[in-house]
Amino acid sequence: MKRIVYDLRIIGACLVVLYLVIFFTHLHYVLTAEFSLHRFLFAAAYAALAAGAIGVVLTKEWARLALVYVNIFLAVYIAIFPKEYVLETASLSNALMALVLALFFNQSETRARFVQKKGSAWRSILVVDDDETVIKIVRPILMSSGFSVLSASTGEEGLQIARQQRPDLIILDVIMPKMKGREVCQKLKDDAETQHIPVVFLTAKDSNDEIQAEMEAGAIAHLTKPVNAKELIETVSKILN
């Protein structure tokens, strides 16, 4: 988990340097040349981006939003007024760079890194599935979005880990040896120590009757195999937030 935050902070630190260099370049034109509204707007935009990049180092949500919206503004503005951009030869590349950064900081995986903190600890998710391949697929998806991941290959083991570790969310398969998924979910909800933990079923079964039975057992959401990474992260993030 620490590596993921560290990588994001490296990106933020690099952007701080980049944006400050561009800001001071525009500021030089503003102070030494005839006043231009375009140059003033560019200087102000890059000042805001530099502040946002500093916030990214601190993993602040407002900073992520600043980078998204200011970069969108810059991409559109440069595309509309390319000749007014002070660094004319780099106008297209800067517009594309702004667009790419806006898309990066707005993707669900990046958003999750800014909002998944719980105090000073990362939120934990327990994945219960007898198919080791599923766990190997789900684990890196969740970890890349800032979650710590616990796993269990049986319902009995999942119940034990849930009671001991108290994860923030449980992802549960339906068909497992011995204790089935819905029975595990029911036991979790019958136990005062674990009944507050939201349960999401991840299963190949997707009929309305199956989904209804899962909800009646106490689940909060249903996802269908094969795993869709975007849907998984968005569902988990929505529940935990």
Encode pLDDT of 185-236 as tens digits.
Answer: 999 999 999 999 999 999 988 888 989 999 999 999 999 998 899 999 999 9
b/e map of 35-54 (b: 16 or more CB within 10 Å)?
eeeebebbbebbbbbbbbbb
Q: What is the pLDDT of residues 137-170, one digit of tens each?
A: 999 888 888 788 999 999 999 999 999 999 999 9
Mean pLDDT of the chain: 85
User: In the prediction, which pLDDT does 35 show?
Assistant: 78
User: In the prediction, which pLDDT does 94 show?
Assistant: 74
User: In the prediction, which pLDDT does 34 show?
Assistant: 78
Query: Rounded to the nearest 5°, which phi and psi values hold at 172?
Result: -130, 135
User: Whose CA is closest to 147, among 159, 157, 156, 139?
Assistant: 139
Q: What is the pLDDT of residues 82-116, one digit of tens each?
A: 776 655 445 667 778 888 888 888 876 676 666 54
Judge contact between 122 and 147, C-beta under 8 A. Answer: yes
Token representation of residue 132: 């080791």
Q: What is the pLDDT of residues 23-75, one digit of tens each?
A: 998 888 888 877 788 888 888 999 999 999 999 888 788 898 999 999 999 88
The amino acid at 184: V
The pTM assigned to this predicted structure is 0.53
